[in-house]
Amino acid sequence: MNGNFGIEVRGLSKSFGKTKALKNVSLAVEKGSIFGLIGPDGAGKSTLFRILTTLYLPDSGEAFVSGLHCVKNYKEIRKRVGYMPGRFSLYQDLTVEENLSFYASVFKTTVKENYHLIKDIYQQIEPFKNRRAGNLSGGMKQKLALSCALVHKPEVLFLDEPTTGVDAVSRKEFWDMLKELKNSGITILVSTPYMDEAMLCDRTGFIQNGAVLKTGIPESIIDDFQGEMFSVTTSKPQETVKLLSEELGDNTVFRFGSELHIYGNPSMEIFLKAFKESHPGLNLEIQNTRPGIEDCFIQLMNSNNES
Amino acid sequence: MRSFWAFVKKEFYHIFRDRRTLLILFGIPVAQILIFGFVVTNELKDMRIAFLDHSNDEVTHEIREKIIASGFFINDAILESTNQIEPAFKKGNIRQVVVFEDHFQQKLNREGKAAVQIITDASDANTASQLVNYTSAIIMQYVNEINAGKALPMTIHTEARMFYNESLKGVYLFVPGTIVLILMLISAIMTSISITREKEMGTMETLLVSPLKPAQIILGKVMPYMLLALVNAIPIALLGYFIFGLPIQGSIVLLALESLLFITLALALGILFSTIAPNQMVAMFASMIGLLLPTLILSGFIFPLENMPQWLQIFSYILPPRWFLTIIKNIMLKGAGLEFVWRETLILAGMTIVLFTVSIKKFKIRLQ
């Protein structure tokens, strides 16, 4: 156990019946930093969150939150962490204000005492403070849930898919708020199915089928990209994907909007140029570019699926 | 402590904002009592009775007229002798025989007192006790009328005899039974639902990741329902009093305290169900089937316990309604004080403590 870590996970495994939800997961989150856990639905993100918030017992391995053992010191952990579950879990029949002051009282504090911490977030929903939580929009619900998870000034904040189902503007606002919170010294573990959000974290980890495939600083994960990435723009993306996949096989051509990403070794460039020559009608533009974090995760996923 | 009160406040918000909860809490008990009330008031019309008048004088004729004029009774026969009473009942037409002693008027005038005997077919015990009540009330009213303005009051002594069920054992008295049933169901169902609802809505997840202790969560859930169930018991008792003419002979304070004890016990039972049940439906059915049937059948509410086979009687010992029914009957009908029901009270208190301890122990501090 290292004193610099807000969260430390060592060899954690957890099964539900025959399903292995977590396989030997290890990771560490430095105090006062944001760690983003990226992974598709069913990857095991929520299971990991529930073990760390002391709601599940691990089958094997150990985990520490704020230096406290997740099983032995569960009572102490529960006082010190803020948890926002993946599912909206506030009282829908209570108003915004009632929810907030209820959670404040439960943690033996008041909204007033820690108002500075939630001010930026809460101000946005304060005009609706007399509205029942069940009648809020998705983005506002998440802001309220975050306020409730923060109102007792937690040392570590667990946010399970806080931006799922939230519009793009609110998502950006949400991440801005997380940065603010990090600057006030709170350790944040956040999970998301959106790969682009990984770039907004200090460190990120990719989880799939219960195993964490890679963790690191987003930039260094990009540096570790194997081979070359070619970005292809075209006027007929659908047709191009079809034609290229026939030539290169599945799982090599990926579409990002109107842009196609193709992973391969340097010789791929020669092939693509030849392909461009033979298909002038597609208006291809080929560029050898630096991959994004999404490309790295896709590559990780593919190699994990193959092995 | 402050977090506990915040929890209680939150529970009240839930209750008052959910129409379904309010309906179960306040609508059903009133409906139930009224249905029973309706059935029973219907029953007490045109009851066939007979008179055996050994005196056949002015006063007895007047009393007979008064009784018939009340509208509850129909004069079916005038009997000639005591020997005819038994066969008259056996024929099954009449429910009651009113017997006047001989020289009724003379005794009343000279000695200031005379006696009437009310003999009732008590095989239908509930009706029987009401017949007696009604008849005595009519006679008492008559006595009050003739006593008006007289220096020496006259009394007519009424003596009730229950045929076929002398001591009125195993009376199926509906009001106390219904009170027990309602308190039991409301309390148990409401708490078990309200805890499983937290599980279903996912709010239990956030409650667990907080400094709240299991005992705080459980007591916070119990407290509001305890108050509401007690408030609920008042209209039930009032309806019983006015519709059934059911007297509350004993101390109302004692009755309230005993009810509170029983409510607490039922709530603890509901909590226990909810710690085991995975969702609201299961919790609801478990409390309905697990509590409704035993309360109806095995508490002495409908079927007299004395007539049951030995093993069922032993089984009934573990059912809280059985003990509470004894307490409530004793207090309401016989006017008994704590000295007569302390044993039952202790048993209920013991059960409550055990149930709460088990619920708190069983309460899952994690999601699994």
pLDDT in tens, chain B (368 residues): 788 999 999 999 998 998 888 887 788 777 877 776 666 554 566 788 889 988 888 888 888 888 888 888 888 888 888 888 888 877 767 888 999 988 888 888 888 888 888 888 776 666 777 788 888 888 888 888 888 777 777 778 877 776 654 444 444 466 777 778 888 878 888 888 888 889 888 899 999 999 999 889 989 988 998 888 888 888 777 777 776 666 777 888 998 899 999 999 999 988 888 888 888 888 888 888 888 888 878 877 766 676 678 888 888 888 898 899 888 877 877 777 888 889 999 999 999 999 999 988 888 888 87
Q: Are strands A156-160 and A81-84 parallel, antiparallel or unpaired?
A: parallel
Q: Which position has the token pair 């008052």?
A: B16
Can you give the pLDDT at residue A54? 95
CATH code, B153: 3.40.1710.10
Contact assignment for A78 to B211 by CB distance below 8 Å? yes
pLDDT tens digits, A244-264: 888 887 777 888 877 889 988
For B181, counting Cβ atoms within 10 Å of its Cβ (0-12 exposed, 13-18 middle, 19+ buried), the class is buried
Region label for A250, one of left (φ > 0), alpha (ψ between -120 and 50) or beta (otherwise): beta
- The answer on A174 and A25 residing in a single domain is yes
A94 contacts on B by Cβ (under 8 Å): 10, 13-14
Residue A168 sits in the same domain as residue A77: yes
State the nearest Cα–Cα gap between B221 and chain A, in angstroms.
14
CATH label of the domain that carries residue A274? 3.30.70
The answer to whether residues B9 and B103 belong to one domain is: no
What residue in B sits closest to A55 (Cα-Cα)?
B366
Q: Which amino acid is at A275?
A: F
pLDDT, position B172: 42
Q: Buried b vs exposed e over A197-232: b needs ≥16 C-beta within 10 Å?
A: bbbbbbbbbbbbbbbbbbbeebeebbeebeebbbbb
- Domain containing residue B100: 45-163
Same domain, A28 and A166: yes
Residues of chain A positioned with their CB less than 8 A from the CB of B209: 53-55, 78, 81, 83
Question: Which residues 327-366 of B are in CB contact (within 8 Å) with A?
Answer: 365-366
Residues of B in contact with A85 (CB under 8 A): 202, 205-206
CA distance A28 to A31: 10
Smallest CA–CA separation between A239 and chain B, in Å?
46
Write out the residue range of the structural domain in which residue A239 sits: 226-290
B41/A193 Cα distance (integer angstroms): 67
CA angle at B201 for the pair B195 and B204, rounded to the nearest 5°: 55
Contact A93 B205 (CB under 8 A): no
One domain for residues A121 and A170: yes
**Mean pLDDT (whole number) for A76-85:** 95
Residue B110: per-residue pLDDT: 85
Whether A179 and A230 map to the same domain: the answer is: no
Distance of residue B22 Cα from the nearest chain A Cα, in angstroms: 14
Please give the backbone phi and psi of residue B150, each rounded to the nearest 5 degrees, phi first: -100, 145
B202 in reach of chain A (CB within 8 A): yes
In the listed set A188, A217, A246, which residue is the last one of a domain according to the structure?
Answer: A217
- Identify whether residues B200 and B140 lie together within a single domain: no
Domain identity same for A201 and A233: no
Q: What is the pLDDT, as a whole number, of residue A7?
A: 96
Pairing of strands A68-69, A60-65: antiparallel
Each residue's pLDDT tens digit, A160-211: 999 888 888 888 888 998 999 999 999 999 999 898 899 999 999 999 999 9
Contact of A262 with A248, CB cutoff 8 Å = yes
Question: Which member of A54, A85, A92 has the closest CB to residue B206?
Answer: A85
